[in-house]
Amino acid sequence: MANMHLSNLSKKRLNKKVTPYAHILLMNCIAIPLILLWTAVGMALFPFAFLFMKFILGDSTTYLTRQCIWIYARVCQFLLSPFVVFTPPQLHGGRLKTPGIFVVNHRSFFDTYCINMVRVSDICCAVRAWPFNIPFYNIFMKLAGYLDIESFPWDKTLEISKKNIKNNSSILFFPEGHRSKDKNLLHFYSGAFKLAIENNVPVIPVCLTGTQILLPPNRYFLAPARIKMKILDPVFPDQFQGEMKHIALKNHVKNLMKQSIKQMDEETI
């Protein structure tokens, strides 16, 4: 289904007065084993699913791998749905215009599992180097053609970004670079905004709240949460002028996201 709204039963579970520790224990005893099992099954099925899709659709390796990753994350959300409310964004006009450079605030490791809430499956994620060192995980990242923004030189990053944009694929950044340990936005790096200018595509701000409750930094168990996403209007680079236009673009987008995230957090309280 397009929307990941909780069933009435799931909502009642979150609203019902229960012992917090019991609810958290139940969630981790059920959800974590199911996600681990689905991960193992997904890895085993991937070669067959990939070859089948390759034979039927004939698309590129990167595109098909991204589709499989999108499906994997979708199932993970379904497995968490008895404990987590996923509220996807409401899009004006019913469809998000792409390609573009998505920029998302970063509060949790689970943020990457929520990216498919934007309803765009062909996304090249730009991430730091360490995920490329995770066994098995790195195989899928490389097949998906993800950007290693720490290891790749700028020329290679620019070349890959242009190829993606030409193929109508979007690129996604967590411009903070690190997970925020509170509700404040960290310093934004400039890479995403430079690429938007170089490729003449809009920056699409994405605000994500609730993942810091589900799985914040330095915690190793899940907790029930309400995860909400809001996609702001695209910001076009040609609105800004001068040699430092990427800085002006970056500051403008950060201010927009800061205001929106604050409002979303207040609505959740």
183-224 pLDDT per residue, tens? 899 999 999 999 999 999 999 999 999 999 999 998 999 999
| Residue range 28-44: mean pLDDT, rounded | 95
Residue that is written with structure tokens 């006009």 in the block: 93
Instruction: Place 88 in a pLDDT band, splitting at 50, 70 and 90.
Output: confident
| pLDDT at residue 12 is higher than 80 | no
CB atoms within 10 A of CB 262: 15
Rounded to two decimals, the pTM is 0.87
Contact assessment for residue 108 and residue 214, using Cβ atoms and an 8 Å cutoff? yes
| Residue range 50-60: mean pLDDT, rounded | 88
φ and ψ of 169, to 5 deg: -100, 145
Percent of the chain at pLDDT > 90 equals 72
CA distance between the termini of the chain: 28
Question: In the chain, where are the structural domains located?
Answer: 85-268
| pLDDT at residue 18 is higher than 70 | no
| Residue range 69-85: mean pLDDT, rounded | 95
Q: Return the pLDDT at 57.
A: 83
